[in-house]
Amino acid sequence: MVSEIIVDHREKAYELLKADAEKILRLIQVQMDNLTMPQCPLYEEVLDTQMFGLSREIDFAVRLGLVNEEDGKELLGSLESKLTILHEASMRK
């Protein structure tokens, strides 16, 4: 029973981190579509702040043993790849 609770907490922690990564992706997409260009300092500031915050969340979850370090790195890397694709698409407009 205890191991089931631990697994449940780990799954919830990872799902919360995934949801935060998706929120960042949507935020940046809306910003690029409606507000600013990728060269804008505001865009870069928002992106840097959000990515730093997510990396700190992941680090915290890893230190608590709720998320595997490799899974955390993969989540961050996946978000960075998606953001790169968004950035490149916006530059072609």
Mean pLDDT computed over 7-23: 93
Q: Where are the domains of the chain?
A: 2-91
What per-residue confidence (pLDDT) applies to 6?
Answer: 67
- Residue 4 has what pLDDT? 73
Question: What is the distance, to the nearest Å, from the Cα of residue 85 to the centroid of all Cα atoms in its chain?
Answer: 14
How far apart CA 7 and CA 23 sit, in angstroms, is 24
Mean pLDDT calculated for residue range 17-26: 96
Q: State residue 69's pLDDT score.
A: 96
CATH number of the domain at 2-91, please? Answer: 1.10.287.750
Those residues with Cβ within 8 angstroms of residue 13's Cβ, 6 or more apart along the chain or in another chain: 61, 64, 66, 67
Q: Is 51 a residue whose pLDDT tops 90?
A: yes
Q: Which residues 6+ apart lie within 8 Å of 90 measured at CB?
A: 32, 37, 38
